[in-house]
Amino acid sequence: MSTMTLEETKALIQEVLEAYPDKARKDRAKHLAANDQSVEQSKKCIISNRKSQPGVMTIRGCAYAGSKGVVWGPIKDMVHISHGPVGCGAYSRAGRRNYYTGHTGVNTFGTMNFTSDFQEKDIVFGGDKKLEKLIDEIEQLFPLVKGVSVQSECPIGLIGDDIEAVAKKKTKEHGKPVVPVRCEGFRGVSQSLGHHIANDAIRDHVLGNRDDDEGFETSPYDVAIIGDYNIGGDAWSSRILLEEMGLRVVAQWSGDGTLPEMELTPKVKLNLIHCYRSMNYISRYMEERYGIPWMEYNFFGPTKIAESLRKIAAFFDETIQANAERVIAKYRTEYEAVIAKYRPRLEGKKVMLYVGGLRPRHVIGAYEDLGMEVVGTGYEFAHNDDYDRTIQEMGNATLLYDDVTGYEFEAFVKRVKPDLIGSGIKEKYIFQKMGVPFRQMHSWDYSGPYHGYDGFAIFARDMDMTVNNPCWNSMQAPWLKPTAVETEAIAASA
């Protein structure tokens, strides 16, 4: 933090912790840290992936959110049954804004909600029969569906329904994969375990499906995009860059993804992974089982895009490497114009982030391209390996906060006074009412895409639109504003 030294940051953390009772303070202290780039292993300075304190306002989600919302939900040609009471599916329906092509209700089902709508009698007598009936109905109503996944909600685990047996039976009956996913919400400490469970379900029920089928014609330039994020069309603005380089994108998960694409992923030459947190498990598995190398890339902001494109090209021959340079050169005028336009308006502004998955570290480069400085960052559900990767990206003495509570976040903002906060919908209105410009960095605030060169232009425009919005000068009611006479008096007395 340019304005704060390491000692000041540490003192701020201590000050914020003062409000807690002893036991909670001891626990929360482990989750807050001042960044120190000399630390190589994050576990020495910050603890992550632990159970949240009871009674604090955590911003985390559940395992069901991780599986249904992130990994399985966006697979568009499958039906994902929210198995259990109606709420989990209904309240999360179509909220993710992962755009897809296709006819909803005919061959794609992305924004639809399928639920077994558990009632009291299903809890008492078990819901397996209902699930069977539901799968049969789906097959009858939507004959073009490629498969079904059963996303368990909490009661399924509590009453011990055997969804695996139902899935096995129905797979045989309909000849389409029916995937049971044991992602009951109470599992794990956050949505992170849901990602892992969902990855394991993909491994067990999808990846091996075409192992003995050599019918797919491969090329030496086959790649797969895994964990593309795909809010407001991110997947496509990433994909075109790879295709312009001469690579063939065989599969794209899970945004705008399909079951056949997932089944073909083991045939590619390289897995490109954007959302490390939610998809690293499956990439590691494919590396071991099929010998496919994987790499993380970052398509936020021109500096990181160029870096990533070169890194990706290094896996291939000289043609691709030359193409990568050509792609970077092609977009140069475009992104330089964006920087020339917005940088003067955003230069020196301070940003605080609190998001999940990959963005707390990935978007730092994009902000820096616009001359902005990230002064604090944190993850909802990261593990140690995420913080290992974050420490190097962040400046010295900046704030790191893991699973931040509502109180802590507010206290930090009051003291650090950032010019912009990037977080989710739950935080948005608190900070806007405090008069701090805010962007939702989960859903791009209903804008997007932000990935790739095309996305960067939109990203820069959105940040400018928010930070320099005239409304921030009107936070005080006109009759409460000091009059010209009073202002002069204050100026005179000072």
Task: Provide the binding-site residues for another protein, judged by CB under 8 A.
Answer: 41, 49, 196, 281, 284, 287-288, 383-385, 388
**153: nearest Cα among 240, 234, 89:** 89
Q: Whose Cβ is closer to another protein: residue 88's or residue 197's?
A: 197
Cα gap 213→209, rounded to integer Å = 8
Structure tokens at 282: 């499956």
Nearer to another protein, 128 or 388 (CB): 388
- Give the nearer residue to another protein in terms of CB position, either 87 or 293: 293
| Closer by beta carbon to another protein, 384 or else 468 | 384
Nearer to another protein, 118 or 387 (CB): 387
Would you tell me how many other CB atoms lie within 10 Å of the CB of residue 314? 11
Largest CA distance in the chain: 86
Q: Which helix (H) or strand (E) holds 107?
A: none
The CB-of-186 to another protein minimum distance in angstroms stands at 18
- DSSP 3-state of 83: strand
Tokens of 226: 């895994």
Q: Which is nearer to another protein, 243 or 385 (CB)?
A: 385
**Residue among 444, 256, 446, 429 nearest 359 (CA):** 444
Min dist. Cβ of residue 288 to another protein (A):
5
Distance between CA atoms of 228 and 359, rounded to whole angstroms?
12
Q: Tokens 């129905």: give the residue.
A: 170
Which residues share a beta bridge with 251?
Answer: 224
User: Who's near 193: CB < 8 A, 6+ residues apart?
Assistant: 63, 66, 187
Q: Is 388 helix (H, G, I), strand (E, B) or coil?
A: helix
CB nearer another protein, residue 323 or residue 384: 384
CB of 271 to another protein, least distance (A): 13
Instruction: Name the one residue in this structure whose structure tokens are 């209904």.
Output: 90
Q: Which residues are catalytic?
A: 62, 65, 96, 195
Structure tokens at 251: 């599969």
In the complex, what is the shortest distance from the CB of residue 277 to another protein, in angstroms, rounded to a whole number?
Answer: 11
H or E element: which one contains 376? strand 373-377
CA atoms within 13 A on the CB side of 327: 28
The distance of closest approach from Cβ of residue 482 to another protein in the complex, given in angstroms and rounded to an integer, is 54
Least distance from C-beta 307 to another protein, angstroms? 13
Other CB atoms closer than 10 Å to residue 73's CB: what's the count?
Answer: 28
Q: Which residues pair with 180 in a beta bridge?
A: 150
Q: How far is the CB of 73 from another protein (least distance, A)?
A: 23
In this structure, the chain runs to a length of 494
Query: CA-to-CA distance for 379 and 236, rounded, in angstroms?
Result: 26
Q: What is residue 70's DSSP assignment?
A: I
